[in-house]
Amino acid sequence: MLVRIHVKQLRLGMFVHELCGSWMDHPFMRGAFLLDDPKDLKTLLATSIKEVWIDTAKGIGIATENDDNEGETVEEVAAEVEATLARADKVTPVVERVNIAQEAVRAVKICAKSKQAVSSMFQEARMGKALDAKDALPIVEEISTSVMRNPGALISLARLKDKDDYTYMHSVAVCALMVSLSRQLGLDEEQTRLAGLAGLLHDVGKMMIPLGILNKPGKLTDPEFNTVRDHPSQGHKMLLEGKGISEIALDVCLHHHEKMDGSGYPEKLTCEQISLYAKMGAVCDVYDAITSNRPYKNGWEPAESLRKMAEWSSGHFDTRIFQAFVKSIGIYPIGSLVKLESNRLGVIIEQTGKSLLTPMVKVFFSIKSNTRIPHEILDLSKPACKDKIISHEDPVKWGIGDIQELWSDMPVTPW
C-alpha cells in the first residue's frame, strides 16, 4: 500500500516510492529505494522535500494507524541518525596506508582474483544468466580497500593487462579508478561503493559483441563499428534484468560514452543532461582504454595519456571531474618514465600529496653515459632535493623494458 507521509515520519526500513518535489530539490539519483542507510535519511531531512510516498508492501509502515503528521521533531530524528552514524563510525575499520611495494604484492592477488570473478560473471551474463549485485560487491570491496591502502598500486598494475583479458581487467581497472576519483571528489562511502560497482559493470554490454569484432586487429567495417557502439544499450538491457543493480550502475553503463558537447553516444546527451557518475565513468573509461595494450594498438604512457585527454577535455570531459581525476592519480602517474634536470631517467613510484609536480622518483639511468646506474630514491617534494622533472619519456625510445619491475619491485605477472 502507498502512504503519503511527512519526512519527519521517515524511518530506516521504509521503502520510498516517490519523493514529493522536483528532482532539483534533492541529490538522489533514484526515485524509489529502500531507506536503509542512516546517511541517506540524514541527507533527505536536510533537503527542501517535505513529503514522500512510501510503499508499505516493500518496507515498514508508520508506527500506528493514528500516527499524526507531527511525529518526532526533525531535531529528534536528526539526533537519532547522528547517534546511529556515531555508533557506525566506532566500528568502521581503519585501513592503514602502506607503501607502493607492500600493496603491489596484495594488488597482484586482488587483480587475479577479480579478473577470474568478473570473467565468470560476464560469461554467465553472455549465456543469459541475470547479473546479481551481490556477486559483484565483494570484488568492489576488495578493490576499494586496496585503493584505500595505496591508490597507485592496483590502478597501475591493472593497466598492465593482456590483450586477451582486456575486457575483464578493464572493468577491474575502471572500478579502482572510480573509487579513487570518488574519494577525490569527497563522495561518501555508499556513493563510492556504488561508483565502484558502476565501474565494474559499465562494459558488460561488450559480452554481446562477437569476439571476432571485439578483438579485430584491423579497421572495423561500418556494420561492425555500429555493433561496437551498441554495447552501452546492450549492457543497460542486461543490467535491467539483473538483481540489486543500482540506478547509478544503469546510468554509467548506458552513458559512459556521452560527451559534454553532445557528440557522444547512444543518446547524444549534453553536459547538463549527463549525471555526475556518468561523467566520472567517461574519464575513467577513456584513461584506462588509452593506457592499455589493445588488439589493434599499444597503449600510451600514463603521462602522455593525460596530456592527450587534457586536449580533448573541453568537448569530451567535464572539466571539474577531469581535474579531480588528474589530482587523484597525479600529472605523472605511477609507472611513468621521466627525465630529470640532472640529465637522468627515473620512474615514478609514489605520489607525495604535496604537489602534482613533485612525486617520488626512482632514478636508475644516466643519459650522459647512456647506462644504468645504482638506484636512488628522490622525494622531489623535499626542500633539500634540488632536482626536478623536465619531461615525460617513452620507455621504447630508451629501450627500457622493465618499468613495472622498477616501480613495484616485482616481475611482470600475467593475470
The CATH number that applies at residue 313 is: 1.10.3210.10
Q: Residue 172 falls within a domain, yes or no?
A: yes
Do residues 193 and 299 both lie within one domain? yes
Amino acid at 388: K
pTM over 0.95, yes/no: no
Do residues 272 and 358 both lie within one domain? no
Do residues 279 and 362 both lie within one domain? no
Q: Residue 299 falls within a domain, yes or no?
A: yes
Helix or strand holding residue 4 (H, E): strand 2-6
Do residues 107 and 227 both lie within one domain? yes
Q: Residues 144, 192: contact at Cβ < 8 Å? A: yes
Do residues 342 and 306 both lie within one domain? no
Q: Is 336 exposed, middle or buried (0-12, 13-18, 19+ CB in 10 A)?
A: buried
User: What pLDDT is stored for residue 86 in this prediction?
Assistant: 53
Q: Residue 33 falls within a domain, yes or no?
A: yes
Do residues 272 and 369 both lie within one domain? no
- Coil vs helix vs strand at 100: helix
Return all residues near 348 (Cβ < 8 A) that are at least 6 apart. 330, 332, 333, 334, 335, 336, 338, 359, 360, 361, 407
Closest listed residue to residue 351, CA positions, set 371, 370, 325, 332: 332
C-alpha cell, 307? 596530456
Do residues 80 and 208 both lie within one domain? no
Q: Residues 51, 6: contact at Cβ < 8 Å? A: yes
User: Per residue of the chain (415 residues), what is the pLDDT tens digit?
Assistant: 888 888 889 999 899 988 776 544 566 656 678 888 888 888 888 887 888 888 888 889 876 544 444 444 444 444 554 554 454 444 445 567 888 888 988 999 999 999 999 999 999 998 999 999 999 999 999 999 999 999 889 998 888 777 668 889 999 999 999 999 999 999 999 999 999 999 999 999 999 999 899 888 888 899 999 999 999 999 999 999 999 999 999 999 999 999 999 999 999 999 999 999 999 999 999 999 999 877 767 788 888 899 899 988 678 999 999 999 999 999 999 989 999 999 999 999 998 877 888 999 999 999 999 999 999 999 999 999 999 999 999 898 999 988 878 887 766 555 5
Q: Residue 354 falls within a domain, yes or no?
A: yes
- Coil vs helix vs strand at 142: helix
Q: Residue 413 falls within a domain, yes or no?
A: no
Do residues 144 and 70 both lie within one domain? no
User: What pLDDT is stored for residue 415 in this prediction?
Assistant: 55
C-alpha cell, 275? 549525471
Q: How far is CA 329 from CA 30, 180, 191, in A?
A: 30, 8, 20
Q: Residue 113 falls within a domain, yes or no?
A: yes
Which one-letter DSSP state was computed for residue 327? H
C-alpha cell, 397? 625510445
Whether residue 302 has a cis bond before it, omega within 30° of 0: no
Do residues 275 and 357 both lie within one domain? no
Which one-letter DSSP state was computed for residue 265? S
- The range of the structural domain enclosing residue 248 comes to 100-329
Of 304, 329, 354, which marks where a domain is finished?
329
Q: Residue 290 falls within a domain, yes or no?
A: yes
Of 91, 116, 148, which marks where a domain is finished?
91
Do residues 378 and 262 both lie within one domain? no
Of 329, 363, 387, which marks where a domain is finished?
329
DSSP string, 341-401: TTSEEEEEEE--SS-TT--EEEEEEETTTTEEEEEEEEETTSTT----EEEEE-HHHHT--
Do residues 218 and 300 both lie within one domain? yes
Q: How many C-beta atoms surround the C-beta of residue 233 within 10 A?
A: 16
Helix or strand holding residue 135 (H, E): helix 133-149
CA–CA distance, 45 with 10 (Å, rounded to integer): 9
CA–CA distance, 14 with 29 (Å, rounded to integer): 18
Do residues 380 and 313 both lie within one domain? no
C-alpha R_g of the chain:
24
Number of domains the chain contains: 3
Q: Residue 271 falls within a domain, yes or no?
A: yes
